[in-house]
A and B are shown apart, each in its own frame.
Chain A
Amino acid sequence: MVIKQDISQSIIKNINMLKESYECSDSLEIKYFTLESENELLCANIYFKDMVDKNSVNNLALEITDIKREVSKCTMKVKAETIKEIIIGFRQIKEGDNLEDLYSELLMGNCVFLIEGNNKFYSVFTSRLKSRSVEEPGSQSVVRGPREGFTEDMGNNVLLISKRVNNNSLRMINLTVGKISKTKVALMYIDGIAKKDIVNEIRSRIKRIQIDAIQDTNYIEELIKDDPYSVFPTFLSSEKSDTVSSALFDGKIVILVDGSPFTIIAPATLFDFLKVSEDYYHHFIVASMMRLIRFITFYFVLLVPSLYVAITTFHQEILPTPLLINIAAQREGVPFPALLEALLMEFTFEILREAGIRMPRAIGPAISIVGALVIGQAAVEAGIISAAVVIVVSFTAISSFSIPNYEMSSALRTIRFIFMILAGVLGIYGLFMGLIILWLHLCKIKSVTVPYLTSIAPLTNQGLRDGIIRFPFWKMKYKSLVINKSKSIKTKPKR
C-alpha cells in the first residue's frame, strides 16, 4: 500500500504535489479566488474540465461570486470553517485530508475546494455521470404486468424497490466489496419476514470476500455460493423490480451491486427458476398451465436429443413401426452415427446462439439466413444430416428458450451434452443413470443453507401450493416455512 500523502496547509504546494504525483496538469482546471474581509484568504477550485457537469460548475461559480460579495461586507476574520459552511449550503459534500482521496474525488468528476491555511479539502458533487433511464428489461419480458427494469445506478434500483415494498420494515445493509474498486453492495430484506440467520449468513459471506474489483452480481454469487462447482444457479438473478419486491415479501434477501442492473435473490430453489412474476398476473389456471409447460420443457431441454440418440441406436423397438420406417428412411445415406449427428447439430445450434448474441446488430439477418438455410435445409437436402435431427435440435432450442431464467437454461443446455454422450454410450440405461445422478446432485446442493429442492425435498405443503401448479391466492395462506421466519399470513382466506 502507498502511504497516504497528507494535504499541507499551502494551496500552491498541494497543487504542485498533485500535478507531480499524478501527472495530470493538462486536463486539470484550477480556479483561484480570494475572499477579502479583515484578512485575505486564498481558495482554489480544482476539477477535471471534461468530467464535470458544466451547469453545476457555473452555478458554483455564481455562488462563489455571491459569497465573495457577502464576505467583503462583513468585518469578521474569515476562517476556513465558515467558508466551508457557506460554500456548501445544502449540497452533498465530502471532506478529506489526503491527496489520494482528493484525486479520487477529482476522478469522480467532482469539484474540490482547497483553502489556504487549512489541511483539508472539500469536494462538491458536480459529476456529469448520467444513469440510464428506467426501461423495460431485455431479459425478462412480460405480456402483462409491470415493465420497469433496474439500471446501473444502485440508488435508483433501491428506490424502485422501496417504492413497491412501501413499508418501514424494509431494511438495507450497505457493504463495500473490492479492495480496489470499493464497489457499493446492498443487501435488502424485510424485517420480520426474512429469516435473520440467512441474512447474517449472507452478510458474513460477503464480508469475507477477498477480491480486487467486482463488476456484476455474479462475482458475489460465485464467491458466496454454497456449492461453487455446481452448474446450477443458486441465486435467482432478476432485473425487474416487481420480481424482486415479491421475492422480498416471500422472505428472501436481495443483493444489489452498484453498476449492475441485475440483482440476485437468495435463497432460491429450483422451482424459483421456472417461475416468472407473470404467473401471478394471470388467472391461476392459465398460469398453472404456463408453469406446467415450463416444467415439461425443463425435461425436454435435458432429454429430447439424448432420447433421440438412445432410441435410434439402442431401442429401435420402442418406436411405433411407421415412425421407425420413417426415421430409417430419413437416415438412409446419412454418413454419421446418430450420436455424432446429434452432437454436431446441437453444437451448431450453440454456435448460432452465441453468434446471435455477440454479432453486431446490423448483420443480424445474415445469421438467421445462414443458420436456417445453410445448416437446416442444405444439410438435410445434401443428406449429411437427417431431417429428424434438425427437428429434434430445433425443438430443444425452442424449449430451452421457454425457460425463463437464462442461467438455468444455459446450465441445462450444458448438461444436455453429457446426457447425449451417456445416451450414445449406454442407451436409455445411461440416460436414467444420468438422471439419477442429476437428481442426487440437486438434492445435495443448497442455496444459502436452504435445500435446493425445497417444497418437494423437504416436502412442504405451502411450497407445493406455489410449485408446479399455482394455487389461487386465497389458497396460498402461508409462505414456505423453510425459507422465512414465521407463519406470517400472505393473503387472508377469501371467505
Chain B
Amino acid sequence: MKWLAIIVTLFVLFLSGCWSSDEIDTLAINMVVGIDKSENGFIISHQVINPRAIAVGENASESPVVLFEEEGVDIDETISKFVSKSARKTFNLHLRMVIIGEEVAKDGIKDIIDYFLRNNEYRTDFYIAIARNTTAKEILKILTPIEAIPGVDLYNSLELSSQRLASTKPMRIIELANTIISEGNNPVISGITMDYKGDIIPDSLEELQKSKNIIKLVYSGMGILKEDKLIGWLSDTEARGVNYITGNVVRSVGHSYYKDDIKITYEVIKSDSKITARLIDDKPVIKVKINVLANVTNVTGELDVSDMNNTKILSEVLENRLRQICEDTLSKVQREFKTDIFGFGDTIYRKHPKLWRELKSDWASEFSKLDVNIDIIVKINQLGEITKPIFMKGD
C-alpha cells in the first residue's frame, strides 16, 4: 500500500511535467515589436533573432535579425498569425522594445497597453518608444553597426542617453499604465527616429558593411500624451527640462555664457527635485526645488574659476541657465499642450485632497494657469583637473 502510494505520487508528479518545455532551438527570440496603423487595423512587425548568424565562428553572411510582419484587425489575433510564417514559436520574454507608430499613438494606446499587461508571454521590463515622423516598421528594418542586434542597441542607447544626457525617458509599461490612469499626471514617451544625415538605409548586411554613410537610429524628443493619445512633441532641451523638474536626471551636460564671451561647459553629476504644493489665497501654488551638483568641464575666456568669488558667479550662471531651461519647458507645456506631464496634480491631491476634488474635473485648464515657482540651487563640485584656464591672459 505504501509503495502503491509512492508510485501513484510519482506518476502524478511526472506525468504532469514537460507541458511547458521548449527547447531553445525551437524558439524565435523576438527582440522588438513594432505596431503601426493600417487601413483596417494594425501592422505588427517582429524583429526576430537569427541565432545562426550570431553563432561564434560562423561566417556572418546572414542578417542577425529577421523582420516578420503581419496585418490584422486585432493585436493579439495578428500576433498569433506569425506562426504561419515562422516554423518557430515566438518567444517574447526577452522583448527589449515596443515601438509604437506615431499614427497609432495619436489614436490612443490603451488597447496596446492592455494587451501587453494581460498577456503572460510578456515581461514588463521592455521600454516603449514612439516612432517619430516614420513608422515602427521602418525603424525595425534598420540594422545597427557595432551592436549586431538592433533591439539591444535601442534598449541600451535609451538607457544610456537617459543616464548621461537626460534627454530621454525610458518608459516601462507599468509606469506608463500608472501615469495614464492617474488623474493628475500624464505620460511622456521618448521618440525614436532616423537621422537623415546618411543616405543609405542599412536594411541588409551588405549595405551595413559597404557604407559608412548609413542612416542611424536616434532618440529625438519626447512625445506628450494626453491620457493615452499623443498630442505633441518636446525638443531634446525641453525633454531635459522635464527631467530636471521631475527629478529624473542622473547626469547631463550643457553650456552657458557669462558676459557673452566666456563660455562655461558644465556636467551635472547629481540632481534631485522636490515638488511641493501650497495654498496661497485658496489657490494652489507649486514649488519645485531642484538641487544640482555640477562639475565644470570647460572654460573658455577670461575667468579665473579658481577664485572663490568667481565660483559663486559660476554657480549663478549655471542656475540661470537651468532655470531658463525649466521655465521654457514649463511655459510651453502649460500654454501649448495644457497637459500636466509633471505630476503636479498628484502632488496637490496628496497634500490637499479636498481641493483636488474641485480641481480635477477641469484640471487641464487649471494646470495651464497654475503658478509654479522653480528654485534651483547649483553646487559646483569640481573645477576639473586644472584650475585657471591655461590660455587666460593677464596677471
Q: Are A328 and B96 in contact (CB under 8 A)?
A: no
Q: Which of B1-45 contact A (CB under 8 A)?
A: 13-14, 17-18, 20-25, 27, 29
Of B20, B96, B149, the contact of A314 (CB 8 Å cutoff): B20
Residue of B nearest to A429 (CB): B17
Task: Tell me the bound Cα distance from A228 to B209 in angstroms.
Answer: 67
Q: Could you say which residues of chain B place their CB within 8 Å of the CB of A334?
A: 25
Indicate whether B52 reaches chain A with its CB closer than 8 angstroms.
yes
Q: Which of A406-435 contact B (CB under 8 A)?
A: 424-427, 430, 433
Q: Are A329 and B52 in contact (CB under 8 A)?
A: yes
Q: Are A324 and B94 in contact (CB under 8 A)?
A: yes
Q: Which of B24-82 contact A (CB under 8 A)?
A: 24-25, 27, 29, 49, 51-52, 54-56, 58
Q: Which of B24, B27, B149 has the most CB of A within 10 A?
A: B24
Q: Are B52 and A332 in contact (CB under 8 A)?
A: yes
Q: Are A324 and B29 in contact (CB under 8 A)?
A: yes
Indicate whether B106 reaches chain A with its CB closer than 8 angstroms.
no
Q: Are B94 and A321 in contact (CB under 8 A)?
A: yes
Task: Tell me the bound Cα distance from A317 to B125 in angstroms.
Answer: 11
User: Given A321-B94, A325-B49, do A314 and B21 touch, yes or no (CB 8 Å)?
Assistant: yes
Q: Could you say which residues of chain B place their CB within 8 Å of the CB of A329?
A: 51-52, 54-56, 58
User: Given A316-B91, A317-B93, do A328 and B21 touch, yes or no (CB 8 Å)?
Assistant: no
Q: Are A325 and B54 in contact (CB under 8 A)?
A: yes
Whole-angstrom distance between the Cβ of A9 and the nearest chain B Cβ: 65
Whole-angstrom distance between the Cβ of A307 and the nearest chain B Cβ: 14
Of A328, A427, A430, A433, the contact of B24 (CB 8 Å cutoff): A328
Indicate whether A313 reaches chain B with its CB closer than 8 angstroms.
yes
Inter-chain CB contacts under 8 Å: number: 75
Task: Tell me the bound Cα distance from A314 to B21 in angstroms.
Answer: 5
Task: Tell me the bound Cα distance from A442 to B29 in angstroms.
Answer: 41
User: Given A313-B23, A425-B14, A430-B17, do A325 and B29 touch, yes or no (CB 8 Å)?
Assistant: yes
Task: Tell me the bound Cα distance from A330 to B56 in angstroms.
Answer: 8
Q: Which of A305-327 contact B (CB under 8 A)?
A: 312-314, 316-317, 321-322, 324-327
Residue of B nearest to A320 (CB): B94
Indicate whether B152 reaches chain A with its CB closer than 8 angstroms.
yes
User: Given A425-B17, A433-B13, do A330 and B22 touch, yes or no (CB 8 Å)?
Assistant: no
Q: Could you say which residues of chain A place their CB within 8 Å of the CB of B312?
A: none
Whole-angstrom distance between the Cβ of B152 and the nearest chain A Cβ: 7
Task: Tell me the bound Cα distance from A430 to B94 in angstroms.
Answer: 24
Indicate whether B123 reaches chain A with its CB closer than 8 angstroms.
yes
Whole-angstrom distance between the Cβ of B117 and the nearest chain A Cβ: 17
Task: Tell me the bound Cα distance from A426 to B15 in angstroms.
Answer: 10
Of B24, B51, B58, the contact of A312 (CB 8 Å cutoff): B24
Task: Tell me the bound Cα distance from A338 to B24 in angstroms.
Answer: 8
Q: Could you say which residues of chain B place their CB within 8 Å of the CB of A155?
A: none
User: Given A325-B49, A426-B17, do A332 and B91 touch, yes or no (CB 8 Å)?
Assistant: no
Task: Tell me the bound Cα distance from A314 to B56 in angstroms.
Answer: 24
Q: Could you say which residues of chain A place their CB within 8 Å of the CB of B149?
A: 325
Q: Are B23 and A325 in contact (CB under 8 A)?
A: no
User: Given A317-B93, A317-B94, A321-B94, do A427 and B51 touch, yes or no (CB 8 Å)?
Assistant: no
Q: Are B17 and A328 in contact (CB under 8 A)?
A: no
Whole-angstrom distance between the Cβ of B93 and the nearest chain A Cβ: 4
Task: Tell me the bound Cα distance from A427 to B13 in angstroms.
Answer: 12
Q: Could you say which residues of chain A place their CB within 8 Å of the CB of B21?
A: 313-314, 424, 427
Q: Are B18 and A425 in contact (CB under 8 A)?
A: yes
Task: Tell me the bound Cα distance from A326 to B91 in angstroms.
Answer: 15
Whole-angstrom distance between the Cβ of A381 and the nearest chain B Cβ: 9
Q: Could you say which residues of chain A place their CB within 8 Å of the CB of B20?
A: 314, 427
Q: Are A316 and B51 in contact (CB under 8 A)?
A: no
Q: Could you say which residues of chain A place their CB within 8 Å of the CB of B56?
A: 326, 329-330
Q: Could you say which residues of chain B place their CB within 8 Å of the CB of A326?
A: 54, 56
Q: Are B24 and A331 in contact (CB under 8 A)?
A: yes
Q: Are B13 and A328 in contact (CB under 8 A)?
A: no
Task: Tell me the bound Cα distance from A333 to B27 in angstroms.
Answer: 13
Q: Could you say which residues of chain B place their CB within 8 Å of the CB of A192?
A: none
Whole-angstrom distance between the Cβ of B344 and the nearest chain A Cβ: 37
Indicate whether A145 reaches chain B with its CB closer than 8 angstroms.
no
Whole-angstrom distance between the Cβ of A337 and the nearest chain B Cβ: 5
Task: Tell me the bound Cα distance from A312 to B24 in angstroms.
Answer: 6
- A sample of 7 more A-B contacts (CB under 8 A), given A329-B58, A332-B55, A425-B17, is A313-B23, A328-B25, A329-B52, A332-B52, A338-B23, A426-B14, A427-B21
18 A/B residue pairs, CB under 8 Å, sorted by A:
A314-B21, A314-B22, A316-B22, A316-B27, A316-B91, A316-B94, A321-B94, A321-B152, A326-B54, A328-B49, A329-B58, A331-B25, A332-B25, A334-B25, A426-B13, A426-B18, A427-B21, A430-B13
Binding site for A on B (CB under 8 A): 13-14, 17-18, 20-25, 27, 29, 49, 51-52, 54-56, 58, 91, 93-94, 96, 123, 149, 152
Binding site for B on A (CB under 8 A): 312-314, 316-317, 321-322, 324-334, 337-338, 424-427, 430, 433
Q: Which 4 A-B pairs have the closest CB atoms?
A: A317-B93, A425-B17, A329-B55, A328-B51
